[in-house]
Amino acid sequence: MTEGFTTATRAEPAGPVLAFTGELDAATAPTALTAIQALTLHRGEQLVVDLSALEFCDSSGISALLAARNLALAADAVIALVGVPRQLQRSLKLIGLAAFFPAFTTIEDARRGLSEED
């Protein structure tokens, strides 16, 4: 079993920030899904998923990210990924999901991206 995976959530005025740390794989994806399902999103908010401390992400982790996107869509909110590791960026691009996840370097950049779209 993979050790050291953690999630942390904090509320911000523009929407919640969910951070994943460690390895997001088949063993830890249920923990990620639990954190995602615990989120409360409202119309017009932005869910930021901070991946800057993510060390690894397999297909189970990508499925968890899709669950977060689906949660945002169901709430009429948007999602943004922050600090996406290079390997995960490549994987998302190769499987055709990069366009589903706007990616930014920092949370502040993601928040500015939201205000520019409005």
pLDDT per residue as tens digits for the range 44-89: 999 999 999 999 999 999 999 999 999 999 999 999 999 999 999 9
Is residue 111 situated within a structural domain?
A: no
| Residue type for position 22 | G
The CATH number that applies at residue 18 is 3.30.750.24
- Could you tell me the residue range of the domain that residue 46 belongs to? 6-104
Mean pLDDT of the chain: 93
Is residue 109 situated within a structural domain?
A: no
| Residue type for position 14 | A
pTM of the complete model: 0.92
Is residue 51 situated within a structural domain?
A: yes
8-28 residue pLDDT tens? 999 999 999 999 999 999 999
Residue pair 47/78 in contact (Cβ under 8 Å)? The answer is: yes
Is residue 113 situated within a structural domain?
A: no
What is residue 3's predicted lDDT score, i.e. its pLDDT?
A: 60
34-54 residue pLDDT tens? 999 999 999 999 999 999 999
Q: Which helix (H) or strand (E) holds 68?
A: helix 59-74
Is residue 1 situated within a structural domain?
A: no
Is residue 80 situated within a structural domain?
A: yes
Q: In the chain, how many domains are there? A: 1
**d(C-alpha 21, C-alpha 117), whole Å:** 29
Is residue 81 situated within a structural domain?
A: yes
